[in-house]
A and B are shown apart, each in its own frame.
Chain A
Amino acid sequence: MSSNVGNVSDVRRTLRSRSSRSSAGMNSGSSRSGPARPVRSTSSLFFFVLVSATIVVIGSTGPFAGVRAVLSDALSPVRSAGSTLVSPLSNLFDSVGSQQDLIDENLRLREENIDLKSRVALADDAIRQRRELLAMEKLTDITSLPSVVAEVVGGTTSNFDVTVQIDAGSSDGIRPGMPVVAGYGLVGRVTVVTRNSARVRLFTDGSMGVGVRLANSGEVGIIKGAGSGKEMRVNGIDPNTVVVPGELVTTSGLGDSRYPNGLALGRVVRATAASGQLEQEVVMMPFSDLDRVGLVRVLLWVPPDLVPSVPSTTRPPATTLPTGVSITLASGSAPAAVGSGG
């Protein structure tokens, strides 16, 4: 590579000699002596700043977005291979540090398993009744939603967002805004989709807000992301509501919520009702370390406000995406993107 052309020192010498000449022409007398002033670098700076600023302005809608999506798809195998190679090492570090934690968790899970087996029998009948009620009210039953199974092929490559990348994209029917779950627990929401991959913003991201319902009391509130693996505050809970630690927190699905109702988020860790306050302080912990989820399901369900308008007098219930209907959130080519909230 370096045999027949000059190295960078040559470039520097060349640029400097040009700088001297430019400088002499533009600013006579000022650069005849001493080191050559980098006039050339200023012009290249202006050029690249101008191009960058142009991309900032038109980037999300212009042709760059399509090129970006294609290149990102090309990086997917690299991301996946890296994850496969590095994860055993990171898992090794984790296991060394948390041996006792694993033993404790194992004991706790055994006890929980016994309790859950007894509840399953009761739950089967309740599920049947719930399905009938949901059907009567034309509400969404999350257990019957069509979905696409995808593998998490990588985490975020940035310090400023909490996302994961999955190996399914628009070719699998995935669209921005669709909720992503592991089991029936919420993981996050699809934000950007390319042909063969999609980026999922975890609900623990600082920019995400989710409408929630406390399972026992039915009280609704809102949680805001606080970062991966951190406790989250449930806002808007009435101070007179009885909230017990361990209570299940699910999505509320109210109004134009971005999620169907009934997706589990976590459990209440503590609730403190101080006198004179308009709401009590309820803190929940997400179910699992969402950064380490391996397989997820993308629910082929689009939030009501993202469903293409249908000329009808009745609004469709929280909706599964009909076959053949596509949603365009951003003009131009992929990737389409959706904002956060809700």
Chain B
Amino acid sequence: MTGRFAEVRAALVPRLLALVTMTTILHVALFSHLRVFGVIPETLLLVTVLAALETGPNIGVAVGFAAGLAYAVSDLDAPLGVAALLFVLTGWTVGIIRDYAFAGAGRVPFALVIISSVIVTVVHGLLLTTARGATPASLIHVGISAALVPILNCFVAIVLRPIVRVVLGVNWNEAS
């Protein structure tokens, strides 16, 4: 069993890297230009949430870690590791909720996308703005982001969810 487990895990690493690389490219090249009232979708957070929703907490934390590092690469001003820490916790929490509370429910994934987007955007925004010296204007922007990111993420999820399923090899019949 250990051999089988190691084999599966080794096969999974390239898939996770492919997923996060693909998402980062999509974010940098496309989604970061879709600005609504100065707010863009948090694509790397979204891929963490979707991976956790599709596969559970184990893969959720791994994708969250890789996506957090990718966030730091795409935004050189961001403190290194903060997004990774936050996304790891997000992937695990969403995966656990999915495993125990909502397995198989049709619309729940979108509810979880919205809730997790709000919470993570607020926490991440407060951490970053506090680190740089929070001003009333920056705090207001965190609030605006928390309101808009979930909506934008839901639209992006329509595109990203099939990609997550294909790259991670999720069985469509089982997953839906």
Contact = CB atoms under 8 A, between A and B. Distances in A.
A158 B42 CA distance: 8
Interface in B24-64: 24-25, 27-30, 32-35, 38-40, 42, 54-59, 61-62, 64
B127 to A, nearest CB: 9
Contacts of A60: 79-80
Interface string B161-172: 000000111110
Interface in B53-87: 54-59, 61-62, 64-65, 68-69, 71-82, 84-85
B77 A191 contact: yes
A55 B74 CA distance: 16
Given A60-B79, A227-B137, A155 B92 contact: no
A5 B28 contact: no
A59 interface: yes
A192 B76 CA distance: 7
Interface of B is mostly: helix
Contacts of A191: 77
B128 A161 contact: yes
Nearest to A335: B76
Contacts of B134: 206
Contacts of B68: 52
Residue from B79, B80, B96, B145 having most chain A Cβ neighbours under 10 A: B80
A160 B142 contact: yes
Interface string A53-72: 11111011000110011011
A56 B55 CA distance: 27
Given A68-B72, A160-B142, A56 B132 contact: no
A121 interface: no
Interface residue range, chain B? 35 or more
A78 interface: yes
B27 A12 contact: no
A46 to B, nearest CB: 10
Contact of A56 (B28, B80, B100): B80
A24 to B, nearest CB: 14
Contacts of A41: 56-58, 61, 92, 95-96
A242 B106 CA distance: 65
A75 B28 CA distance: 8
